[in-house]
Structure 1
Amino acid sequence: MVSREVYEVLKAYEKMGVVELIPAENLPTSSETGFNPDSWIFRTGDRVYQNDCVMRAKTKFVASIDSDEIMIPQGNLTMLEFLENEIKNDPKVGGFQLFHQAMQYDPKKMSHLKASRKDFDWKKLEYDWLKTASIHNKNWAMGKSINMPDHVNIISIHFIAQMQHPYKILDVPHAKAVYYHVRISWLGKENPTKENNSHLYEPKLRSFFNDDFVKTVLSNYQKVMKEVETNMGRKPITYYEVFDILPKCLKDWRSYHQCSPLVMCYKDLSNFTEWVYANPSNYEAKYLLTL
């Protein structure tokens, strides 16, 4: 379930050959008891589709990360070069565990976050704020993994759950590579003195977001959004209000029969905008966009 804007962005990436869209099937509601198994699925559902992705992969390495995360090796190697070097040093390595490091951008440089739906204009969005990337000293969080599909059996959200014999997982310290994670809720929050030598990695982080990188991001963004606007037949708009809605409807996600965001936030979000469902069922409202 994604907004129409996100769906059109994904379709544009699919056309470019960098994304493959795979429908995520909803489980059927029992016609006899009315039981909806989707109301019990949260993390389990994520794991199903992540492992499905690994099994479909045609590449040597698969990184299980989100769109607000990035993995950067230290030194002058690309990530692919770094991984190849590590398995050359130890052929029994079949997966890599990278450790978490929070990061942030300067919200004062991100004027688009303050724009209302009416005032937001994607054509005016700049990406110079990427160059303000810095370490954020948020509390510890779980890391993420890079796996080799031919050498793993099962992956979880934050780690490789089971390797194939005789392969093993290599823990990658920050001195070699860092898994960075940024969230909009961290922007502008107090950032106390950096610990664990994280300040040593900030120059490398900043160097990654250089002028050439920003120029490439902006060029790709404009190309994609132009196609999105054409396909939608209207101006794409932002939905920052969602950030205020989600914490409220998801606050009891650990409670009995309250596991699925689809169930918990349905009433609050169903009429918020156009939604695109992978597999529409009777559970969705009739006036939602379904493809």
Structure 2
Amino acid sequence: SQVLISQAGRSMSLPVHGVGMVSSSLEVCVPPLYWYDDWPRLLLFVEYHRREGAFITIYANSVSHTVKRILDYYESQGVIRVINWPMLPLLEEEDPNRSVYRLSHSLAHNDCVLRSSSKYTTLLDIDEFIYVRNSSFLDFVKSKFSSDSSIGSLQFEHLGLISEAQLDESFDALDLMEIREIEGPSKVLFNPSSILFLSTHTVNTHVEGFHRTNISKDEAFLLHMRNSFGHKKVGERIAMDDRFSSDLKERVKATRDAIFGSMIPSFTLNVTKEVIRCTSTWRTDGCKTPIHSCYSQLMTMEEWFFYSPSDDSHFLVL
């Protein structure tokens, strides 16, 4: 029931937690959110995957109060769960938060593998959607895994999702969506019980006897709605059926109105642009740190909520 961990003369006893029941459902994990204020994109992400039958786990460090309102609403509805991803405690002579970026993401990725209670789990950013042609996401995944019991993960190729308009509180940009052949990293969906180590885009190591299957873009693909793609009509246009956008705008606006009523907040890309600017020199600075790199620039741009350590985080600092 307990495991003793020792390092450099320090030790700590940790409780062992059971995995619990695993359901044949779909779960989407979102890596830690830092300085996150893009609430229209968050609404779109949740409503799309909610429609596809997915439960969503979101790791959160710092978000705007508008985003916090949305997260609280969805959590109260049982649509998502938020995992607090706070800053590490400060040491007398060192601040460990100055070097947590990539390691923090990898830790969250593999925490998702251990924490997931779903047989089918994927790791996506807020601007990403796995889109299946002519089928529901969950039905497609179940069909693939049932066709071969040795499949441990499915790899989805990257396509760009662009719009002639900026996504804002009106959600009119959804009427102008196009899929374009834009290069980018693929993403993976996996059975957690078959994973030994997960990285950002793929499974590094499967349990012996399991393997990865690459999914053809004729069947399904990753849609990446990255801000930097803008509305430039780059790359070959890919035919898009109605299933992606069907009723999505109505769903998003209905939830927006349920949360904010007539007091709908406006949205701009000011924070996003500042994050891009203040992290642009990270190679020269030596490390891209999610909190420190932009703290002085961003702290006064929004009303921020910082998540604190919670009893259910299962993380202790040794």
Q: What TM-score do you get using the length of structure 1 for normalisation?
A: 0.78
Gaps of 5+ in 1: 114-121, 230-234, 281-291
| Counterpart position of 1:77 | 135
Structure 1 residue corresponding to 2:261, chosen from 226, 239, 244:
226
| Counterpart position of 2:104 | 45
The answer as to 2:286 corresponding to 1:240 is: no
Letter in 1 for 2:302: T
Letter in 2 for 1:251: S
C-alpha distance 255-224 of structure 1, shift in aligned 2 (>3 A): same
C-alpha distance 165-130 of structure 1, shift in aligned 2 (>3 A): same
Deviations 1:148-188 (A, max 9, x none): 11111221111112111211111112112110101223222
| Counterpart position of 2:118 | 59
Q: Distance in 1 between matches of 2:274 and 2:187?
A: 27
| Counterpart position of 2:230 | 187
| Counterpart position of 2:301 | 272
Deviations 1:102-150 (A, max 9, x none): 110121xx5x75xxxxxxxx5xx2x343132212343x21111111111
Letter in 1 for 2:240: P
Letter in 1 for 2:204: A
What are the within-5 Å matches in structure 2 for residues 1-291 of structure 1? Answer: 1-31=62-92, 33=93, 35-74=94-133, 76-107=134-165, 110=166, 113=168, 125=170, 127-138=171-182, 140-189=183-232, 191-192=233-234, 194=236, 199=238, 202-204=239-241, 206-210=242-246, 212-226=247-261, 236-279=265-308
- Give the drift of 1:225: 3.0
Report the number of matched residues: 248
- Tell whether the 8 Å contact from 1:102 to 1:135 is kept in structure 2 after alignment: yes
- Tell whether the 8 Å contact from 2:70 to 2:259 is kept in structure 1 after alignment: yes
Letter in 2 for 1:130: L
Deviations 1:69-119 (A, max 9, x none): 111112x22111111111222110011111111110121xx5x75xxxxxx
SS of structure 1 residue aligned to 2:205: strand
Q: Which has the higher contact order (CA 8 A, sep 6+)?
A: 1
Q: Distance in 1 between matches of 2:253 and 2:285?
A: 45
Q: What TM-score do you get using the length of structure 2 for normalisation?
A: 0.72
C-alpha distance 214-238 of structure 1, shift in aligned 2 (>3 A): closer
CA-atom RMSD in angstroms: 2.2
SS of structure 2 residue aligned to 1:258: coil
More helix as a share of residues = 1
- Tell whether the 8 Å contact from 2:74 to 2:80 is kept in structure 1 after alignment: yes
- Give the drift of 1:279: 2.6
C-alpha distance 252-219 of structure 1, shift in aligned 2 (>3 A): same
More strand as a share of residues = 2
Q: Distance in 1 between matches of 2:159 and 2:84?
A: 32
Deviations 1:254-285 (A, max 9, x none): 345432121100010112221111138xxxxx
Letter in 1 for 2:85: A
